[in-house]
Chain A
Amino acid sequence: MRSKLWLPVVFLLVLGLCVVETQGETLRVAWAEWAPADYLQELSKDFTKETGIDVEIVQIPWPSFQNKIDLGFVGKSDSYDIVIGDSQWLGSNSVGGHYVKLTDWIGKNVDVDSIYGPAMTAFAEYPKGSKEYWALPAEVDANGYVYRKDLFEDPKEKQAFKDKYGYELNVPETYQQLRDVSEFFTRPPDLYGIATYFSKEYDGITMGFQQVMWSFGGSYGDPDTYKVKGYINNDDSLKALEYYKELIKFSPPDAPNYYWQETLDAYKAGKVAMAMNYFAFLPGAVDPAQNPDYHDKSGFFIAPKGPKGHYISIGGQGMSISSYSKRQQVAKDYMKWFIQKPVQEKWAMLGGFTPHKEVLQSDVFLNATPFNKAFAASFPYLRDFWAIPEYAELLDVCQTNWNAVVVGSKSAKEALDTIANKHEEIFEDAGYYDE
């Protein structure tokens, strides 16, 4: 009996050694489950060729992405070496000690001037303006629009629109035009004007509405004093919210649940004339396999401007090193490799949205997809939500209240006052008003 025992023991030992050995050679990068993660997996093959180090892009489904990363950090898990996380996470994960501070390393190894400045601020810097860096921009994204060219260019539609509104039917450049075009194409039950973000999930409606609020003159508050009342609930924000609420009349019946997946699905199903989405998801609109009916009838435009400005919600993520990683040096080597110009060129060609200034402005990038020009044009107008450690609480309050307005269970004024009160309560509890 005893003589037979050594076999399984040896097997387990060998298996254990193999696991340890494999872990030592593979860099694990956590990202959301979407096409850019596939592009990065493809791109990383070049890194493996150069260094012999395997890279695994671990794709986490969007609904559980933030939760899985947060819980891993709370448990000090070393499952991931690099996390490609949302810009809003920066405050929480840097203050919480979950991200490795990269200020000195970036100073010595990265040409910061080659990276688009606002992207560096949004995805890497915390606190803002401090020149303290915790990440490198990986995928820079923005909200944009896809529209049905066959409808917009139809002479009969153009004439009918001009007769009704007194100006030419073109892609909307202002929010008033967006409203008019949305109304014009609303012909239930088969066609509606617009699909935009109204969802209560994660940051859905906030990412859709905040750019309207900023463009109407509203804001989240004073970033220096953290005072909110009089900013988020001022008349401009109120007008913006009432405007945004009106858009739901020109959207399909299930629109209160719409975020990026649903707006894209509605567009592909031919239910809407225009749909907002992050540019990174728009390959789905031009892929004949995914969008057989309208892939060749799709045009793209940047988010419109408002009466008091032009702002667009930033999307995308930055690449940070987990403090609990045992392969931090390899992670740094990978990030140094990733940000090089030739790699960024290939990243852009694969479909990634590069933060590299020169690549971003190159013809190669601008012509790589039908929507890259609209994406590049959006860059000067990008703005972000709070990126402080309390962002999740602030976001939750916005999500709940703004969604309540669009479904009609709260008035715009009531919702904005609630948000102002709760945001100041959160700042007070977190000690932002302490002397």
Chain B
Amino acid sequence: MRSEGLPKGLNDYQIKMMFITPTMILLVLMNIFPLLWSLYLSFHRYKASLPTRPAKFIGLRNYSRLLSDPEVWEYFQTTAYFVVLAVLIQFIIGFGLALLLNREFAYKGMITTLILLPMMLSPVVVGLFWRFIFASDNSGLVNYFLSPVLNTLNMQPIGWTTNPKMAMIAVVIVDTWMWSPFMMLISLAGLSAIPKYLYEAADVDRASTWFKFRWITLPLVSPLLLIALLFRTMDAFKMFDIVYVLTREGGPGTATETVSMNLYKLAFRNFNTGKACAMAYILLIIIVALSNIYVKYLNQVKGEA
């Protein structure tokens, strides 16, 4: 069976290595080396924009500067607030839509596709057109439609992206518009996989709708729901693009400045490469910790199911 082109005398181990090696080299070059290099840089004073100045070892100073900076904690709080609010709302809307779509009706395929459209768009494009929709004077579509109500109440147009109290709500609305379909898709996949005979058996026993939902639907769909939540949480934690475009670099003030937004500014605006690497590692540790909690809970749910 051996191919004519292969050198003679290769054993199974050598053939296996021959296939694995290119991948390993790529992995080391593209992932492992940057990971270790950035760890090295996180202990140094170094600006990538100043290659004439060599990296200078400063120990844990980058980490101590970041962790003792009240504004950095504020960015983490902002991010956490966004993650909890956005993911929770997306979960409720997404799962609700999936329950509605998990039945046969006319044009089901077309409606499902239309609902999925927002998540196929580029976040930058989404941010840009929502910027116009949320324009803080009456030229914005939302304020335009609200203007009769606002005028009646003698209120100014809502500063969706200019009022610190409203800006995060605007970001959550946009992210929810974009990513609830993802929650819906995964939930729908989970709901479709539940065997019909379980519901038929429950019907025979005259089980209530709530009973069927609580004891059949929820336990069987929860592993997939947890995976969807895990993906969304990790993704929301990295929120950058919508904030960058919609609220113009995390404004007003620091109202929507997420950790990733700040990391971008540290790394590519300020070129404070050493500090940016330290920030990236802090972020990495938090995401790994959060993911582990999810995975542990996921395993627990799987065991129960």
Contact = CB atoms under 8 A, between A and B. Distances in A.
B291 interface: no
B164 A74 contact: no
B163 A407 contact: yes
B47 A404 contact: no
Nearest to A401: B253
Contacts of A74: 48-49, 51, 271
A189 to B, nearest CB: 7
A10 interface: no
B269 interface: yes
B108 interface: no
Please classify the interface of chain B as helix (H, G, I), strand (E, B), loop, or mixed, using the class held by over half of its residues. loop
Nearest to B164: A409
A357 B48 CA distance: 38
A257 B45 CA distance: 34
Interface in B232-284: 248-255, 257, 265, 268-272
B271 A70 contact: yes
A153 interface: no
B140 to A, nearest CB: 8
Contact of A200 (B47, B249, B268): B249
A188 B270 CA distance: 39
Interface string A380-421: 000000000100110010001101110111100000001000
Nearest to B48: A74
Interface of A: 66-67, 70-71, 73-74, 92, 95-98, 188-189, 199-201, 252-257, 271, 389, 392-393, 396, 400-401, 403-405, 407-410, 418, 425, 429-430
A-B CB proximity, top 3 nearest: A404-B253, A254-B136, A407-B252
B90 interface: no
B252 A253 contact: no
Contacts of B157: 189, 253
A101 to B, nearest CB: 12
Nearest to A407: B252
B272 to A, nearest CB: 6
B49 A97 contact: no
B176 interface: no
Contact of A257 (B47, B156, B162, B265): B162
22 contacts: A66-B269, A67-B268, A71-B268, A74-B48, A74-B49, A95-B53, A96-B49, A96-B50, A96-B52, A97-B52, A200-B248, A201-B248, A252-B137, A253-B159, A256-B136, A257-B162, A257-B251, A257-B252, A393-B272, A400-B253, A404-B252, A407-B164
A72 B254 CA distance: 29
Contact of B156 (A188, A408, A409, A410): A188
B102 interface: no
Interface of B: 45, 47-53, 61, 65, 71, 135-138, 156-157, 159, 161-164, 248-255, 257, 265, 268-272
A67 B269 contact: yes
Contacts of B137: 189, 252-254, 271
Given A400-B253, A429-B61, 11 more contacts: A73-B49, A74-B271, A96-B50, A188-B156, A199-B251, A256-B251, A393-B270, A396-B269, A403-B251, A403-B253, A407-B162
Nearest to B158: A253
B65 A429 contact: yes
B96 to A, nearest CB: 34
Contacts of A257: 136, 161-162, 248, 251-252
Please classify the interface of chain A as helix (H, G, I), strand (E, B), loop, or mixed, using the class held by over half of its residues. helix
A253 B65 contact: no
Contacts of A97: 51-52
B235 to A, nearest CB: 23
Contacts of B135: 254
A392 B270 contact: yes
A98 B50 CA distance: 9
Contacts of A418: 71
Given A200-B248, A201-B249, A408-B164, A256 B159 contact: yes
Nearest to A415: B253
Nearest to A74: B48
B261 to A, nearest CB: 11
A429 B59 CA distance: 13
A98 B255 CA distance: 35
Given A393-B272, A409-B164, A200 B49 contact: no
Contacts of B65: 425, 429
A408 B255 CA distance: 11
A256 B251 CA distance: 9
A403 B252 contact: yes
Contacts of A189: 137-138, 156-157
Nearest to B150: A189
A27 B164 CA distance: 46
Contacts of B252: 200, 256-257, 403-404, 407, 409
Q: Which of A70, A200, A418, A425 has the most CB of B within 10 A?
A: A200
A396 B265 contact: yes
Contact of B250 (A200, A407, A408): A200
Contacts of A392: 269-271
A393 to B, nearest CB: 4
Contact of B50 (A389, A403, A407, A429): A389
